[in-house]
A and B are shown apart, each in its own frame.
Chain A
Amino acid sequence: MENNQQAAPASPSIPSSQIPRDHRETVGDYTVESPRMSARDVNVHYGDKHAIKGVNLDLGRNEVLAMIGPSGCGKSTFLRCLNRMNDTVKDCKVTGDITLDNKNIYDKKLDVVELRAQVGMVFQKPNPFPKSIYENVAWGARIHGLANTNAELDEIVETSLQKAGLWNEVKDRLDAQGTGLSGGQQQRLCIARTIAINPEVILMDEPCSALDPIATAIVEDLIDELREQFTIAIVTHSMHQAARVSQRTAYFHLGDLIEIGATNDIFTRPRHELTEDYISGRFG
């Protein structure tokens, strides 16, 4: 938990558990200097269900933000707002402002395909295409016109696989099926596919939940390396994973952003009783 915490702002010395369970305004500073993405007063409704309630949150540059909370708290819903994945969900209505580099991502003129190239996503279950390892990585770069020649495409594939920590394991079998790799390798292949189109932000929705501990450790190590180049928001059910990989942590509860702060502070002296109870395993 002590690694990679330099991006986190220091919190005031307020004794923990002072803020009672019924308090619903966000505790902690949700702003960062020069944010990559900003969400202001974001509300999400699924029909009558109010899934996200007026959430304000900044994503800093070169930081990993962990979003935690019990099932149904809205963390994945919020994550999916950040690259408009909820657009395709029937009856889902998103209001409020979300910006990427100060541009409204819900602007009607905005090209959603372009947005999803800038804000890539890695899902819970590895989902490589039923194609070769090479094609899995080259596909995005090709459709976004990032390579003019085959040599350029080769370079993108190699660089992306290297950044995903997979190159040495697959360089001799790039023509093999991506689906034939192990679970951990498949997830890293999906990460390589995401970074091949040079995004600014990577969203990760429980990226290690289908992986064994060793594969999880490799992906966590990779997340730490990727932070040098990208902004990362990760939803995880593993408290310890959030503590290990992130610099800031946001705790969601029933659609409210309850508390946000430096990961070190959240996991040693949370200020809201709900945060304390959740992370210490008193309810889930």
Chain B
Amino acid sequence: MTQFVEGHIIKRYDGELSVLHLLLTEMGALVSSQVDSAMGAVKKHIPDAAQEIIERDIEVDQLEIKIDAEIEALVAKRTPIAKDLRLVLGCSKIVSELEKIGDEAVHCATIAHEMFEQNHSRLPKDMFRQVFQTMKTTRRNVRDAIEVIDTLDTDLAQTLIEDTREIEAEFPSSLRIVVSYLLEDTRNVGKGVSVVQVIKCLERISSHARTIAEHIIYIRSGEDIRHNNQAIQEANS
């Protein structure tokens, strides 16, 4: 990463890009910890977990504002070009993805809290087995995304993109498992809806992690691979 931002004739420019990257990494670490806490809240009933996550989300929002201000100043002062331009644009979009992951973590923790509030006993394990599996993949996706932000490693970014497809593929089968459980006992509808919401949260978090990986590939190579862009361009040509 250092090599990517350094080498400008204006040394202060190197410093400003490094600060931007450092803030982004800090925000990534905070968001990752939020996701971990949210998943902990789903796994076991921690009464204050949701409130703590909501409070820490304010820090996430403040970091987003701070990074946006850094980007605004960089664009105004340095009018970045080429890989610097891609870095600044990419960071701007990654910030937004991180903030959305933070929001999903809050959402997830809130659902978990409500779920436990409604029924203090833990939910049946068979229903949650699939959720735990999805949580494991999502957590790995988020950690990889943070590492990709830190290292700008395109190979890891590519692996992460492949990995997130796993969750996309899992979502329908997770849904089927929950539905079959509900059919066994309709009194569980309320819990079932909450579980579906949690799974959807996890899927969205992974989707944001994948978008981060796509932005990193854009930063490093200039290739825009979002929305299967290459296939679209080839079809148009």
Contacts and interface: CB of A to CB of B under 8 A. Distances in A.
B147 interface: no
B13 interface: yes
Most buried by A among B80, B82, B83, B84: B82
A282 B8 contact: yes
B233 interface: yes
A21 to B, nearest CB: 12
Interface string A259-270: 000000001111
B86 A268 contact: yes
Interface residues of A, number: 21
Interface string B197-237: 00000000000000000000000111100000010010001
Interface in A33-77: none
Interface in A164-206: none
B37 to A, nearest CB: 37
Contact of B86 (A13, A269, A279): A269
Interface residues of B, number: 20
B172 interface: no
Given A280-B82, A280-B84, A15 B7 contact: no
Given A13-B223, A16-B221, A281 B10 contact: yes
Given A13-B230, A13-B233, A268-B86, A280 B81 contact: yes
B127 interface: no
Contacts of A284: 9
B220 A276 contact: no
Nearest to A267: B81
Contacts of B221: 15-17, 269
The 3 tightest CB contacts between A and B, nearest first, are: A269-B222, A15-B221, A282-B7
Contacts of B179: none
A268 B79 CA distance: 12
Given A15-B222, A17-B221, A281-B84, 11 more contacts: A10-B237, A16-B221, A16-B222, A243-B81, A267-B81, A269-B82, A270-B82, A275-B82, A279-B81, A282-B7, A283-B9
A281 B8 contact: yes
Given A13-B230, A13-B233, A279 B82 contact: yes
A16 B83 contact: yes
Interface string B1-15: 000000111100100
A277 interface: yes
